Amino acid sequence: MSDARISWAKNGILITVVDDFFDVGGSREDLWLRLVKCMTQEAEWQLNKELPSVDEYMTNGCGPLP
């Protein structure tokens, strides 16, 4: 059940980010490039079993967007 909640929360965040991105302008290519970079960083953290600081996590999730 917790996996379903986490998945639902991630989808909600992604929808919000996409909506905000297009509200301020930008191309789809920019969106996907930034999204891939953020997801790659999260994958590296997971593969290396690293726990990012709150600042690192928030910068990765929010920093690249305009």
pLDDT in the model for residue 65: 47
Residue 34's domain spans which residues? 2-62
On the question of pLDDT at 21 being above 80, the answer is: no
Residue spans of alpha helices (H) in the chain: 2-24, 28-47, 54-62
Hey, what are 49's tokens?
């079993």
User: What is the tens place of the pLDDT at every residue in 35-62?
Assistant: 888 889 999 999 999 999 998 988 887 6
Judge whether 20 and 65 are in contact, CB under 8 Å.
yes
pLDDT of residue 12: 80
Between the alpha carbon of residue 61 and those of residues 1, 17, 28, 39, the distances in Å are 24, 9, 17, 9
Structure tokens at 56: 């690192």
